[in-house]
Every structure is written in C-alpha cells, then in structure tokens.
Amino acid sequence: QCSLVCPTGALVEKDDTEKVLDALQDPKKHVIVQVAPSVRVSLGDAFGMEPGAIVTGQMVTALHLLGFDKVFDTNFGADLTIMEEGTEFLDRLQHGGVLPMMTSCCPGWVSYVEKHYSDCLPHLSSTKSPMSIFGAVAKTYYPKAAGIDPKDIVTVSVMPCTAKKFEAARPEMGREGRQDVDIVLTTRELIKLIKYVGLSFGQLPETDFDSPLGTASGAGAIFGTTGGVMEAALRTVCDKLTGKTLERLDFQEARGFQGIKECTLEIGGHTLHIAIAHTLKNAEILMEQVRKGISPYDFIEVMACPGGCIGGGGQPVGTTNAVKKKRMQALYEIDRNLPVRKSHENPVLQVLYRDFLGEPGQGKAHELLHTSYNAVPKEYRF
Ligand code: SF4
C-alpha cells in the first residue's frame, strides 16, 4: 500500500501502517515496538507542540493505546551497539586492524559505501545498527525470557528514516527465514496512526518504557544527532583504554552542526584522531582520503542526513535548521537527566551479556550483533 506524497503523484512513499494495524488485530501475535532516539523529540511537532518538545512519556502511552503489547527503546539497542563497536574499535587499535574504523549505524551511509567506495568496505564497523541489534535480541533473548514462541512475535520499529525499511529487509538481518525487524514505520507514519485512532496526543498521561528492553543510558539517547554516536563511543572507549571510570562525560568536540568536526584525544597512552561528518557530500571528502590511504583519522562517524537522524527523511515535513537545533538540544537534555550516561554501565545490558550474550565481540554476541556488507556492482548503481 502506497500513499501519495507529491502533488503530481510522480513520487510515492512506502506506507506500512496497514501492516501494523493487521498485526495489532491478530490475537495470536505478540507485537512489540521499539522507538528510535530522535522520534521522541520530533513527534510533538505534529500535535502543536514547540519544536524539540520531549514527548517520550506521551509517545509510550500512545503506543500502548494503539495496542502494542510491549513498548521498548531503541536507545537500549544503541547501548549494545556501543558495547560491540567500542570493543571492535579497541581490538583494531590494539591489534593492527583496519583503521580508520567507520560507524555503520546509518543505512544511507552504508549503502553509499557499498555503491561508491566498495574498496573501503573493510573500514566499516561490522556492528549492526541499534535498530537491527535490538531486533536480533527481540527475536532471540526476549522470547526466551518472556516464554513466547519467537514465531508469534512481530517486531515493529519507529524510525526517523525511510532507509531503515531497506535495512530491515536485508537478508543478513534475520535468522531461520524470519527478519529480526518485521515492520518499520517512519515518524510520519506513527503520526498518521495516532491521528487515525483519534488520540489527543497532547493530553495523554506519561508512562515509562516497558522492561526489560526499555532501560537505556544517556549515551544511547544522543545517537539521534550528528556526533552523538562518536560521543557515546568515546565515553566507553576512554574508560576501557584507561581501565578507569572517567568523570568526563561530555565531548564538546563532537557537538554542533559543522559539516566535518575533528579532534585529537590523548587517552590511556594512545593518541586518537577522530572525525565526524554529516551529509554524504561531507563524507565524500573523508572517503577520498581513506581511499588514497592518507586519512589521518582512527575513528570516523558518518550520518547521511543533515544534522543526523533529527533531520531524517522520515521526520515530519518542514524540518528547518532551527527545528533541528531544538531537537539536538532536547537530546542532550535527555542525556543530562539520566542516571546512567555510559552504555557499558547500563544495568540491563550487563545482565544480558552475563546471562545470554557472553563477551562483547565473541561467540553469540558476534553471531547476533554483527553483520557484513556487499559491494554493489556498477550495473546496479543509480
Ligand atoms: Fe536514516 Fe538519515 Fe538517520 Fe541515516 S542519518 S539513519 S539515513 S535518518
């Protein structure tokens, strides 16, 4: 089912709201939903709230009223991504692996590398995105813990992103013939569903995410903005490199809207050269250095959309730079107000590794939480 999104009808947007409604009406299905970090600071725009309003509690209530059995947090998946990506980076740094390592949580960016820089694929982190990591846990650990047949679980994700629909459908992102994420809705599609059932969003009471997969750190929260993935990773990497619990939480060097940000950090006897880019135009500048073997960096973050996911293609129409700034500030506010702000200190994540995943980057954790990439032949590029 497609809905028209341009006045001439020349462009259409994939609409999966009916699939979600069908799943919610099937009494045999246990339907769970995860929500990306940036959705909670953009959803309010559609209901007359100030740009950047933090509507986490109302959003969770709305999802329960829509009929979801459990409402979980992609930020928990982001914490897992940091555990795996941080471990992978340290391994590459300390054992002569391929550097610079590049983040891989943005499907627009991954697809760009697969198409235009396939010679550089070994630079991409093999760690799955927060959405796909969450999906893998939701279809393995969660049914076991909840005593539900994995076949009866439907996983829905609400994303700021149209490209996440493509990521969820990749054959690598599933097991035993089933995808880890069954349906992806954009922020716009969630708005449509909330309006369809006639909820007065602004009047809804606030509720918390469900447990166990709804507990996340502040590091997970800032994934929604350019620089957020790098800052979250540095909080964990710096602790691991020094073997200490560092007091430093904020990495101002990673914040702001500059197209390319760079910094050098002296940590635990290592000098780390970092770069962060948003938009593929800026990423291209960094990629030409990587391709020529002259990149001065150890770790690079790229997000394809301007500002990162706060400016994603699935967000409410009419997102200006001023609106993105408000959303960015809101994500940092969520981070500041959380009791745990480093991914590796998330207590639920620690239990998950202890009881189910084992050591980060090894065994079951590697099997479920990592992926691989494919060069796209020239004839299939557009
Ligand atoms: Fe999707 Fe854009 Fe976010 Fe990348 S930056 S994950 S393309 S919304």
Ligand 1 centre from 334 Cα, in Å?
20
Q: How confident is the model at residue 12 (pLDDT cuts 50, 70, 90)?
A: low
Report H helices in 106-227. Answer: 107-116, 130-138, 141-146, 163-169, 187-196, 218-221
Sketch out the chain's domains with CATH numbers.
2-380 (3.40.50.1780)
Q: Residue whose CA is closest, atom 4 of ligand 1?
A: 106
Which ligand 1 atom sits closest to the C-alpha of 109? 4
163 lines ligand 1 (CB under 6 A): yes
| pLDDT per residue as tens digits for the range 188-207 | 999 999 999 999 999 999 99
Q: How confident is the model at residue 165 (pLDDT cuts 50, 70, 90)?
A: very high
156 lines ligand 1 (CB under 6 A): no
309 lines ligand 1 (CB under 6 A): yes
Task: Judge whether residue 176 has pLDDT over 70.
Answer: yes
Residues 135, 170 contacting (CB under 8 angstroms): no
Q: Can you give the pTM of this predicted structure? A: 0.95
Q: Which residues of 128-166 are buried (b: 16+ CB within 10 A; e: fewer)?
A: bbbbbbbbbbbbbbbbeeeeeeeeebbbbbbbbbbbbbe
pLDDT for 282: 98
The ipTM is 0.99
Q: What whole-number distance in Å separates Cα of residue 88 and Cα of residue 6?
A: 43
Mean pLDDT over each residue of the chain, to the nearest integer:
95
Q: Residue whose CA is closest, atom 3 of ligand 1?
A: 309
- For tokens 């813990």, name the residue: 145
Q: What whole-number distance in Å separates Cα of residue 154 and Cα of residue 32?
A: 6
Q: What whole-number distance in Å separates Cα of residue 365 and Cα of residue 36?
A: 22
Amino acid occupying residue 131: M
Q: What whole-number distance in Å separates Cα of residue 195 and Cα of residue 317?
A: 16
Could you list the active site residues? 85, 88, 105, 125, 164, 167, 172, 309
